[in-house]
Structure formats: C-alpha cells, structure tokens
Amino acid sequence: MLPVIGHDVEATLTVFVDAIVPEATTTFTASDRLIALLDQLPIVDGRLPPWHEWWPAEILTQLVPDRRLREALTAENPRLTRAFYDEPVPLPERWWKRRAGFLQLSPAYDDDRARAEQWGWPTSRIDGQHLDLLSRPGVVADAVVSLTATTRLPNE
C-alpha cells in the first residue's frame, strides 16, 4: 500500500521500513506463500484472526518484550476479511522511480532490500527485528533520518 499512499499524498520521499517492495508493475497481489499461510488460519464469519494471532504468542513476546506496549499493539489489530488478500492493489505508474529508500530491520526482507538496491534506492540495515518500530523507535527513527539524507531521485 505504501506506493499508493505516497502517490496519493504527493510525498516527496517514501521510506519502506521492513516492508514488502512490490515488483516494478502497476498491480500488487499477495504472494503464494502468504496466501498459503492465510489458508491455514481459522476463519470466523469470513474474517481472519488478528495479525498477532497468526504466530505463537512467544514470537510476539520476543518481538515486543514490553508487556504494556504489546497489549496496546494487540488491542488495535483488526480482523480483516480473508478476501482482502485476494484483491489486487492497483499501483501508480512507475511508482518505483519515485524518490524512495529502504530500511531493513529483519532478515525476512532480504529480497525486498535487494529489489530496492536494484532500482538504485539507498538502503540501510539495522540488526534487529520486524517490530523494532515499536520496541526501539528512537533507533529506527535515527536510521530513517540518516537514510533520508542520502536519498535522491534515480539518475539525479
């Protein structure tokens, strides 16, 4: 969704933080791997469990050690419909040519960082975990600020 949001708000810079970077196309669809995961989850009234229930509780505890912060996070997680992930997301034309950067927090986003590098986006990596935006916000914010200082338009 970030390419759409960046386009809609006319952002001068978009920074993907441990996020999926779609292929250079005008439509995004969920990966087969994600669909397979979703199809293993219990669906009630057409809705998936909240995101934090997709994995064992100890994983969330590892990602967000602070109990109060973890409770605040889980209280806000919606139950999306399973069909939500079947709908293609239209992306703006040449969205990957806009000014952007990529900050990687966890190894799960190696391919996305590589795609960003392929397009000439500046990238950076923190040795951390996916939810460090919550558990280490200062560290992530500093890394985003540093990354933005090196971000420019492709071929600029």
Q: What is the pLDDT of residue 1?
A: 87
- Contact indicator for 134, 106 with CB cutoff of 8 Å: no
Q: For domain 1-24+95-156, give the CATH number.
A: 3.40.50
SS3 for the chain, per residue?
Answer: CHHHHHHHCCCCCEEEECCCCCCCCCEECCCHHHHHHHCCCCCECCECCCHHHCCCHHHHHHHCCCHHHHHHHHHCCCCCEHHHHHCCEECCCCHHHCCEEEEECCHHHHHHHHHHHHCCCCEEECCCCCCHHHHCHHHHHHHHHHHHHCCCCCCC
Regions of the chain where pLDDT drops below 70:
151-156
CA atoms within 13 A on the CB side of 129: 12
Structural tokens at position 155: 């071929």
For residues 110 and 79, give the distance between their C-alpha atoms in angstroms, rounded to a whole number.
28
Domain with CATH 3.40.50 in the chain: 1-24+95-156
**pLDDT tens for each residue of 110-153:** 999 999 999 999 999 999 999 999 999 999 999 999 999 886 65
